[in-house]
Structure 1
Amino acid sequence: MYQSQRIYLPFGDRTLTLGLKPLAIADWIEIDDQFVSYLQRKTELLKTNHSEVFASLPNTQIAQQEVLDLLLEHLSQQVPELYDRTSKTITVKATNQTWNIDQFEPLDLAGRLVQEDFCLMQPSDRGFILATASLCFPLRWRLLAKLGNPMMRIHQPVPDYSEQLGNPVDRLFDRLKVDRPVFRLNWSIVETPELYLGHQSHSSTNAVELTPDDLWIRVERQTLRRLAQSGWILFTIRTYRYPLMLLNDYPDSAIALSSIVQDLAPEMQLYKNLLPIREMLLTALEQILKRS
């Protein structure tokens, strides 16, 4: 029924770049054999930690509804067999969850239907600001700390962001066309397969206690598209995680990751939380390459 989880190993570019690629609308949302577990984890988080994973500024309802309408139309066209829709409800067949459409903020409901997270960026006199989001699977950042902020401030912790990416990102947001969505990939190495890492600013496990089997490749597939009616920018994040040992099957990617880890500036290694695990990671990659 579902296709296997896609494998994204974006270790080719060692510079801080946008790395944008054109996105076919049919490929906007990715549903795979992890569908049920992702939606179950979202349901848990939205029940127990709602204010951490959904937040909204005032006066965002129209743009939120535009996103939900866009998503429902997409799902009905691409994967109609996965959902049952009535005028008042939508049911996710695989999880047997039925949601009353009018009982949720539209973006909250959108986030419950697919594996992607959704962030809506609103134009303002400070540039585009994060106005509302359903963000169940953040990587070491808190939605409430970023809500209402422009892109430059949101990415303040990223080394060299303001010098290298700030202006290109602002230009992208200003010029993005409705009919020309784009996507990019971003990677990290983490010490857990847990999807929700909102409060994890650094490893909670002593690096000495870790083994290569504890390490996971975490990849974010990020899409950007301009909404036709509101003109806001919709940013989606689909999180993938793979055990590091997956690279036994992809020796070229192991070589690329080893090279980029060795070449990353210390401040970027610190930002990516690589310093505590750097030597173990490089040793593990060396062993993978010896076996290939």
Structure 2
Amino acid sequence: MSTPAESEKILQPRSQHILGAATIPAPLYISLLSILLIIWAFVYIRPTSVLPGRSLWLRWHWPRSRKSTPVPQAVVDAHTKKVDRKFGTWTPIEFERPAVAPYPNWSVTDTSPLKYRPFRYGPKYNITMGLRTLHQWDDWIELDNHYLRFHADKKRRIEERGAKCCRTDDSDPRALDGAVELLEELASYLPERYPSMFQKTDVGIDNIITHESFDIRKDRLTMNGHAEDPMQLSARLIQDDLAIMFEREDGIYYFLAGSILLAGFWRLEDKFGMGLPEIHTSGHVPGYESKLHKGMTNAFRRMMPDKVVLRHNYFIQVDEDLAWSYSIGDEDHDGHGWFTAEKNKAIEHHWFRSERQSLRRLPRSGGIVFTIRTYFHPITEIAEEPYVPGRLASAVRSWGEDVSQYKGKERYGDVLLEYLDRKHEEQVAKGLDMEREEELRQYPW
């Protein structure tokens, strides 16, 4: 066995050969070697902001058969959260949406709507954006057995109202680019997710059930041979209303393309062309200036194409019309509002209206797309579900004065709360276990 002195002699020539320098004591050599190993690990193994969640070594050695998303020129700095691009500019990104799986056993007649019940117990009603990350692209667009009703309502509204409901701003070329990009994305997504209804074609997409054929080429844009606005074509494909917003040089996002056919309480013509702040202030959205404006502005600015976020809201409506709540006034007249609604109508006229909104940025045009999917059910229907009447009653009671006025509570609150309290008492009397609610139902269900 070598002595320590002999070991040092053995190490010295090797260190000279490796480093091309004079003799280096073994302890110093070992220290230098350790430093080199640390540097190597830092560079090749540490996950970096260049490719989040993947080391540089993996980036260089990742199988070439897999397509990777090129690093965008304008990125959100992971530490400062600042966006490195000028207001109103966007560099197209070659983002390829992950493939989605077919919806298991989906049927236009049998697949029920998902039971979103996005309300919480009081005593406090918090005004927040309520954004959640969508973890699976499979769930971006939701279709169910209400599709044919929604499709018929949209078709009727398009025939009756046309550009009052579907429009693309022709003064800004980005609007048309974004509207066509969204149409292309839907034509790609829908046949993957709902193959029993949609079929991809050489020029676009066919709806097998409604017998509609869409040519989505930018110089064509037709449905069954008839030219239409691209937002109108997109509207015919899905149950959602749609809006696309674009950033201008002032840093504000403007509503420049939309198909708003089933919104219930607001009209496209009232909001089209407005910036994000004005859309909310003109609609008297509670807490916008104090609690929502800054966060919403930052969220829009930072949004990138590889992420989708969701939010939910809910309203009470006192008539059965999905497209326009006629109880607040004639859609074609100004001055409509809750003040026109009949007070304390029978509970059979009360409907629960919930929206599931998704937001994502289009990689080519840079526009931010809202999908607004409405779920519409009689109060008497959802009140049969365990825990729902008690929780909804508590939520309604938690609204502050501004939220109550915005949601029209004064016109229906007495009848609604009396009914919900009674249904809750019936459920408790039948053995409803209040201790298990959090286990069985979690937001937004």
Interval containing the TM-score (normalised by the shorter chain): over 0.9
Residue of structure 2 in register with 1:148 after alignment: 273
**Counterpart check, 1:124 vs 2:248:** yes
Q: 1:92 aligned to 204, 207, 214, which one?
A: 207
Q: 1:7 aligned to 115, 119, 127, which one?
A: 115
Kindly indicate whether the alpha-carbon contact (under 8 Å) linking 1:36 and 1:94 is maintained by their aligned counterparts in 2: no
Q: Deviations over 1:148-177 (max 9, x none)?
A: 111111011112111110111111101112
> CA–CA distance in 1 between the matches of 2:409 and 2:207?
38
Q: Percent identity?
A: 27
> Could you tell me how far 1:202 is from its partner in structure 2?
2.5
Pick which of 100-109 and 89-98 moved more. Answer: 89-98
2:304 is aligned with what amino acid? K
SS at match of 1:183: strand
Residue of structure 2 in register with 1:221 after alignment: 356
Kindly indicate whether the alpha-carbon contact (under 8 Å) linking 2:265 and 2:324 is maintained by their aligned counterparts in 1: yes
**Counterpart check, 1:235 vs 2:370:** yes
Kindly indicate whether the alpha-carbon contact (under 8 Å) linking 1:56 and 1:147 is maintained by their aligned counterparts in 2: no
Q: For structure 2, list consecutive stretches of 5 or more residues without a partner in the other structure.
A: 1-106, 222-226, 326-330, 428-445
The structure with the largest strand share of the pair is 1
Kindly indicate whether the alpha-carbon contact (under 8 Å) linking 1:45 and 1:136 is maintained by their aligned counterparts in 2: yes
Kindly indicate whether the alpha-carbon contact (under 8 Å) linking 1:141 and 1:201 is maintained by their aligned counterparts in 2: no
> Could you tell me how far 1:122 is from its partner in structure 2?
0.5
2:343 is aligned with what amino acid? A
Q: 1:44 aligned to 156, 167, 182, which one?
A: 156
> Could you tell me how far 1:77 is from its partner in structure 2?
1.2
Residue of structure 2 in register with 1:28 after alignment: 140
> CA–CA distance in 2 between the matches of 1:73 and 1:201?
40
Residue of structure 2 in register with 1:262 after alignment: 397
Kindly indicate whether the alpha-carbon contact (under 8 Å) linking 2:168 and 2:176 is maintained by their aligned counterparts in 1: no
Which of the pair has the greater relative contact order for Cα pairs under 8 Å at 6+ separation?
1
Kindly indicate whether the alpha-carbon contact (under 8 Å) linking 1:61 and 1:105 is maintained by their aligned counterparts in 2: no
**Counterpart check, 1:17 vs 2:128:** yes
Q: How many residues were matched structurally? A: 291
> CA–CA distance in 1 between the matches of 2:357 and 2:391?
21
1:233 is aligned with what amino acid? I
1:258 is aligned with what amino acid? A
Residue of structure 2 in register with 1:81 after alignment: 196
1:206 is aligned with what amino acid? E
> CA–CA distance in 1 between the matches of 2:164 and 2:324?
11
Kindly indicate whether the alpha-carbon contact (under 8 Å) linking 2:341 and 2:411 is maintained by their aligned counterparts in 1: no
> CA–CA distance in 2 between the matches of 1:87 and 1:45?
29
Q: For structure 1, list consecutive stretches of 5 or more residues without a partner in the other structure.
A: none
Q: 1:4 to 1:213 in 2, by over 3 A?
A: same
> Could you tell me how far 1:89 is from its partner in structure 2?
6.0
SS at match of 1:168: helix
2:116 is aligned with what amino acid? Y
> Could you tell me how far 1:204 is from its partner in structure 2?
5.3
Q: 2:286 aligned to 153, 156, 159, which one?
A: 159
SS at match of 1:213: helix
> Could you tell me how far 1:100 is from its partner in structure 2?
4.7
2:191 is aligned with what amino acid? S
> CA–CA distance in 2 between the matches of 1:88 and 1:185?
35
> Could you tell me how far 1:255 is from its partner in structure 2?
1.9
> Could you tell me how far 1:88 is from its partner in structure 2?
4.3
**Counterpart check, 1:113 vs 2:221:** no
SS at match of 2:387: helix
> Could you tell me how far 1:5 is from its partner in structure 2?
1.1
> CA–CA distance in 2 between the matches of 1:192 and 1:97?
31
1:187 is aligned with what amino acid? Y
Residue of structure 2 in register with 1:66 after alignment: 181
**Counterpart check, 1:194 vs 2:321:** yes
**Alpha-carbon RMSD:** 1.8
> Could you tell me how far 1:221 is from its partner in structure 2?
0.4
Q: TM-score, normalised by structure 1?
A: 0.94
1:165 is aligned with what amino acid? L
Pick which of 179-188 and 81-90 moved more. Answer: 81-90
> Could you tell me how far 1:25 is from its partner in structure 2?
1.3
